[in-house]
């Protein structure tokens, strides 16, 4: 093979060789992060570009590493992986999300699906299954652990689809008042003083609202409420009516 044929052959091989799938692994356990690194180290098609053991670290890595697939646990220390999946879907819709978790719970599976996850795999899976699952979700497929497949089949048979995600528009007036104060940056104590409530009651009510909206952070609540207010104001402006502030200001 002469020089030009060799050069053309190398160029063809480089074109055919697919770049490895860039993966960010998020887990609150350092041991788990190390284990996933080892499991994926044998794959030539996958490259772990970063790991994170906290929500803040995960958000920073998303910006700097630009992964193709995020592999994350349901619980990341005090933070909720479901909320993080929601945040990824909203800010990085092109990134695929695969839960790799110890929680064999149909309710968490349902929450993960509603949060926009593309796969849900239990940590009892082998490294080969994990790698194939990453490749599957990267290719646009859905991946559910075989131990939970029966649950999904049962949902289909029973006609039980995941409940639609509640929005701020579905909130009652008192819930909107709470969210309006959150959007203003007030603490639970300040909200309690403004509404003449016990701070513990404020915390409990907010948690109920967060659960219905499937959010996990005050910043998400504030953003959701602000978008709601902007949409409401825009609609009222177009109809020629005056907007009424929820908190009475």
Residue 21: the pLDDT is: 94
| Domain 3-158: CATH architecture, name and number where available | 3-Layer(aba) Sandwich (3.40)
If residue 49 lies in a helix (H) or strand (E), which one and from where to where?
strand 46-52
Q: Which of 115, 95, 89, 87 lies closest to 219 in space, CA to CA?
A: 87
The DSSP call for residue 18 is: P
Q: Do domains 3-158 and 168-239 have the same CATH topology?
A: no
Alpha carbon distance 222, 227 (integer Å): 9
Q: What is the pLDDT of residues 230-242, one digit of tens each?
A: 665 444 444 443 3
What stretches in the chain show pLDDT beneath 50?
1, 3-17, 233-249
At residue 163, the pLDDT reads 54
- DSSP notation for 220-242: HHHHHHHHHHHHHHHHHHHHTPP
DSSP 70-115: EEE-SEETTEEHHHHHHHHHHH-TTSEEEEEES---HHHHHHHHHT
Give the integer Cα–Cα distance in Å for 69 and 99: 10
Q: Please, are residues 213 and 167 in contact by the beta-carbon 8 Å criterion?
A: yes
- Domain boundaries 168-239, corresponding CATH code: 1.10.10.10
Distance CA 142, CA 117 (A): 9
Determine which helix (DSSP H) or strand (DSSP E) holds 120, and give its type and residue range: strand 119-122
Which residue ranges make up each domain of the chain? Answer: 3-158, 168-239
């Amino acid at each position: 093979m002469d020089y030009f044929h060799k050069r053309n052959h190398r160029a063809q091989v480089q074109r055919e060789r697919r770049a490895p799938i860039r993966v960010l692994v998020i887990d609150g356990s350092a041991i788990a992060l190390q284990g996933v690194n080892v499991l994926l180290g044998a794959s030539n098609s996958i490259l772990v570009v970063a790991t994170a053991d906290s929500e803040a670290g995960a958000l920073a890595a998303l910006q700097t590493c630009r992964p193709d697939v995020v592999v994350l646990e349901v619980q990341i220390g005090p933070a909720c992986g479901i909320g993080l999946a929601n945040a990824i879907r909203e800010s990085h819709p092109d990134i695929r999300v695969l839960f790799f978790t110890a929680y064999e719970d149909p309710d968490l599976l349902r929450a993960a699906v509603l949060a926009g996850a593309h796969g849900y795999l239990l940590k009892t899976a082998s490294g080969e299954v994990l790698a194939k699952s990453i490749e599957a979700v990267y290719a646009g497929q859905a991946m559910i652990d075989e131990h939970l497949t029966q649950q999904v089949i049962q949902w289909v048979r029973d006609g039980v689809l995941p409940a639609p995600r509640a929005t701020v528009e579905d909130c009652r007036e008192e819930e909107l008042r709470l969210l309006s104060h959150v959007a203003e940056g007030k603490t639970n104590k300040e909200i309690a003083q403004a509404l003449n409530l016990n701070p513990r009651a404020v915390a409990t009510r907010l948690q109920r609202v967060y659960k219905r909206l499937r959010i996990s952070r005050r910043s998400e609540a504030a953003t959701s409420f602000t978008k709601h207010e902007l949409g409401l104001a825009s609609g009222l402006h177009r109809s020629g009516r005056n907007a009424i502030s929820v908190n009475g200001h």
